[in-house]
A and B are shown apart, each in its own frame.
Chain A
Amino acid sequence: MAIATIAEVTWNGTVDNTNKIGISDTLDNLSVDIWNDSSVYVTAFNDYTAKFTRNTSSYPVTTSKTDQCPWYLSGGIGYSNTENNSSSYYYCSALLAVPSAFNFNTWNNGTGGMIRNTANNIRLITSLSIEKNNITVTLGVHISGEVTTQTYLVNENVENTSANGTFNYDGETYKIVLADVMKSEDDYFLTIPPAYMGNVYDRSNGEGVMGCWAYHALHSKMFSICPQIFDESDKTISIAGTGYYNINGWYQHPLPGIEEDENLQMFCDYVHDPWHMSIGGNVHYHLLCVSRYGLYFSYNNTDYKPLISQGVVTGYTSDMTAESDIDDWTDITGHNISPIPPPPLPPDPDEDNDDPLSTVGAPFGTGLAHFYVSTVDGAALTQISEAMSTWDIDATKKDLYRNLISCKIVKPPTAVPASSSTFEIYGVKPQYQGADITINEVTGNPDITFGSYTIDRKFNDFRDRAPYSRVEIFLPYCGWCALPSHVIGRSVSVAYYSDIIAGTVKAVVFCGTNPVAEASGVMSVDIPFVAQNVGEKVAAANIGMLAYGKAAIQTAAGIGSVVASKGKSGWGSVMSGGTALIGAYNQLSQTENSNYTDICGKSGDGCALAGVDTIVIKITRPKYGGNSVAPYVPAGFAHTVGFVSMKQAKVNACTGLIVCDNVEVSGISGATDAERAEIKRVLETGLYVNSPPE
């Protein structure tokens, strides 16, 4: 039997984690987080373990008749009570849409009771869906009716607060609130009109049972989405007696792969008990509980991925490459925060890369890994270590909960480009409270160019070239590097291309605009840390906490924007293998091992921290002591030996000694052969050319 839906309202509200309603997808997280002002009003519902937390309290689900058995439901109403009319303390809650001016305190009518709405303008919220900033609320029939014997209960824990996230419907402004019907020492029930209920009992004479079919809506939807998980085979309806109906409680089939613990078993048993009719105005109970499951889950050794479209889970598939909005989750800064982000696209083969020296650096600020830089000192490094290794944190402090993948002390050749925004790592242990260190997210690699340096010639001839002269350059981080001798007489510059992630640096020497040499070096020291397998760590985390992760990532991405988890419940949802390594910031906070990272320090070889820090160019030249001035040749060398020429000229254009080669003398008329031969000989052995006499 379907829930009578009277309206679907789309509310274009804004969602952030400061003072608004945060509502997760309807079926991936069957809970509603409502904030009012700055406090969290309702916390997430912890599914199969049958626990939930509200504010700072944790409420287990048990069969004890005297224990509290509260849970929050989304899209439904539920309550529980004993079957024997004994006093008990139970909590019940429902998601309601109430007029903005609604005052819960007006329901106060002593002990016991019900939610009563004489104005018939309270709407039961049967489903919620979120698509980023659009929230769709499905309203069920309103709660109405009176039973004269019922009394009303003061809901001391429900505040009439003016929550944000109001929406308009049917001429009235509504707000979404969670109504608590707090503990009662007497029987109580909720009056739900027949139109809403499948099989309902009137309790006009104070007897009878009441039931609620609200769960049907949720169950049916889940069944349609993932039938292999949810089935209705256990649900039966029987009609007996005088209009009373028995309804087998439907209980959440535990997901395969989810650990069942004692609480879950009791919970399942509890909810599976059929309705009981009692006399005297006591009730029967019916639990509405839908176990929440994670977005990704395993069943029968097969992994399933949610198909999400416009914020709503529309189905599941075992094809991890299937298109789904879950692959495109981004926070407001554009970072992909999908649990399993799609692999990066291959580079465009047609894209030209004309710069052979362009560095291939990491796309800082995107992807899974982020890097942060801070001036190092002993206290800062210790604080980082402490922040990483502790588990128990003060929720009001911003904390760094991430998977630490690297830690280096670097001495780059220039300042590391970093965002102007700073992030603070709070020392989480008492002795570090208030001793904050500031870190900035790395936005690029620290590249810089030094120079130019002019290398003068000395001889101005072949002696300034190899093999007679040679040039070497000392490049800090890298060591000595030979340069081609043609740099003599030119200028060189040195560009350092750093890789802040690897802690390495490449130095390229340019002569003009041409690279002439390059060398690599190390500019960092690794700080090794001990960590357990990251995948295992995250695999143990409950991905349902993505609600927090979502809220957190709505703000500026980065450290410090994560709200720490509350409580240390044993998370049982198991992610499959390495796919557990997701980008949700707060996953780490959910592990129980406080020794996740243990940073220790040591120095290593090749450390740039100790070394020559200046560029030095060394030119090795031959000596010639015969003449200390240019052209650095023996005295008389030019007149007696001459310099290498290898040029063509007319004899009368020359002066001084010329020694020719293969002289053609046939043009000299009147000379005998012997004379020509002599002329040729003299020209080829050395002729001094002078000016003719005047």
Chain B
Amino acid sequence: MTITLYNNSSAYNTLYKSMTKLKDVTATIKGACSVDNPNLVIDNPGIAFNYFYIGDFGRYYKVTSRVLSPGQIMLISGVSDPIQSFNSGIAGLDVFINRAEDLSLRSPELSDSMIPLESDVQIDKVIGDTVIASGSGMVVIGVI
């Protein structure tokens, strides 16, 4: 079967990875081949790669091992990357977000124990009006 070799530069938990396509190569299954963790034999592509795509499986795999055997034969193993493989499905999910980077998603009035607070305080003042006028006051007498 034909597989595509990629170079991925994004973090694993990125929805749409930045994948650079390298080349298509022919791969043969070595023994029983798991969809989740396939083992394949390819000719030495002569390039570095860390992801491959199996079209027959419809999945992207992160390379977990590459072993070069005599005769320019390379044994590769991979693990399924469901984030990349199913990113379009993930994108359509309705989720309840606990925390978010986007300020538009922030609830600032909710207490956040992750924000560090110092024990020291700062004092701000607002100076108002003078209530008691200057002078000695006045006398008020009450009579019957």
Q: What residues make up the interface of A, taking CB atoms closer than 8 Å to B? A: 368-377, 380-381, 384, 400, 402-413, 416, 439, 442, 450-451, 453-456, 458-463, 465, 468, 475-477, 494, 496, 500-501, 503, 524, 527, 534, 559, 581, 583, 608-609, 611, 613-626, 631, 633-634, 637-639, 641-652, 654-665, 667-672, 674-676, 678-679, 682-683, 685-693
Contact of A416 among B83, B116, B121, B140 (CB under 8 A): B140
In contact, B128 and A494 (Cβ under 8 angstroms): yes
A380 to B138, CA, bound (A): 10
Closest residue of chain A to B79 (Cβ to Cβ) is A678
In contact, B105 and A411 (Cβ under 8 angstroms): no
Smallest distance from the beta carbon of B50 to chain A beta carbons, Å? 17
Q: Give every chain B residue within 8 A of A370 (Cβ-Cβ).
A: 142-144
A342 to B100, CA, bound (A): 75
Closest residue of chain A to B58 (Cβ to Cβ) is A670
Smallest distance from the beta carbon of A660 to chain B beta carbons, Å? 4
Q: What residues make up the interface of B, taking CB atoms closer than 8 Å to A? A: 11-16, 18-19, 35-36, 58, 80, 82-83, 85-103, 105-112, 114-118, 120-144
Q: Give every chain A residue within 8 A of B11 (Cβ-Cβ).
A: 688
A193 to B23, CA, bound (A): 156
Q: Give every chain B residue within 8 A of A659 (Cβ-Cβ).
A: 97-100
Contact of B15 among A380, A633, A688 (CB under 8 A): A688
Q: Give every chain A residue within 8 A of B93 (Cβ-Cβ).
A: 650-651, 663-665, 667-668, 683
A654 to B136, CA, bound (A): 67
Smallest distance from the beta carbon of B69 to chain A beta carbons, Å? 29
In contact, B99 and A682 (Cβ under 8 angstroms): no
Contact of B132 among A413, A639, A663 (CB under 8 A): A413
Contact of B122 among A439, A455, A503, A621 (CB under 8 A): A621
Closest residue of chain A to B121 (Cβ to Cβ) is A620
Q: Contacts A405-B143, A663-B95, A683-B90; is A410 near B121 (CB within 8 Å)?
A: no
Closest residue of chain A to B115 (Cβ to Cβ) is A633
A664 to B92, CA, bound (A): 11
In contact, A620 and B123 (Cβ under 8 angstroms): yes
In contact, A645 and B99 (Cβ under 8 angstroms): yes
Q: Contacts A402-B144, A623-B120, A692-B16; is A641 near B114 (CB within 8 Å)?
A: yes
In contact, A614 and B143 (Cβ under 8 angstroms): no
Q: Contacts A377-B136, A618-B123, A675-B36; is A655 near B102 (CB within 8 Å)?
A: yes
In contact, A380 and B58 (Cβ under 8 angstroms): no
In contact, A622 and B117 (Cβ under 8 angstroms): yes
Given contacts A411-B137, A460-B108, A660-B96, 6 further A-B contacts (CB under 8 A): A375-B138, A615-B130, A621-B122, A647-B96, A649-B95, A656-B102
Question: 20 interchain pairs (CB within 8 A)?
Answer: A375-B138, A404-B142, A411-B136, A442-B140, A462-B111, A462-B112, A581-B144, A616-B127, A617-B127, A621-B121, A621-B124, A634-B116, A642-B100, A655-B101, A657-B99, A658-B99, A658-B102, A671-B85, A690-B15, A692-B16
In contact, A462 and B116 (Cβ under 8 angstroms): no
In contact, A644 and B82 (Cβ under 8 angstroms): no
Closest residue of chain A to B16 (Cβ to Cβ) is A692
In contact, B140 and A624 (Cβ under 8 angstroms): no
Q: Give every chain A residue within 8 A of B142 (Cβ-Cβ).
A: 369-372, 404-407, 501
In contact, A463 and B126 (Cβ under 8 angstroms): no
In contact, B118 and A625 (Cβ under 8 angstroms): yes
In contact, A679 and B95 (Cβ under 8 angstroms): no
Q: Give every chain B residue within 8 A of A405 (Cβ-Cβ).
A: 142-144
In contact, A672 and B36 (Cβ under 8 angstroms): yes
In contact, A534 and B95 (Cβ under 8 angstroms): no
Closest residue of chain B to A617 (Cβ to Cβ) is B126
Closest residue of chain A to B91 (Cβ to Cβ) is A652
Smallest distance from the beta carbon of B59 to chain A beta carbons, Å? 8
Q: Contacts A375-B138, A410-B140; is A643 near B112 (CB within 8 Å)?
A: yes
A374 to B129, CA, bound (A): 25
In contact, A622 and B121 (Cβ under 8 angstroms): yes
In contact, A626 and B116 (Cβ under 8 angstroms): yes
Smallest distance from the beta carbon of A520 to chain B beta carbons, Å? 14
A559 to B142, CA, bound (A): 12
In contact, B86 and A675 (Cβ under 8 angstroms): yes
Q: Contacts A369-B144, A404-B141; is A637 near B124 (CB within 8 Å)?
A: no
Q: Give every chain B residue within 8 A of A644 (Cβ-Cβ).
A: 98-99, 106-107, 110-112, 114
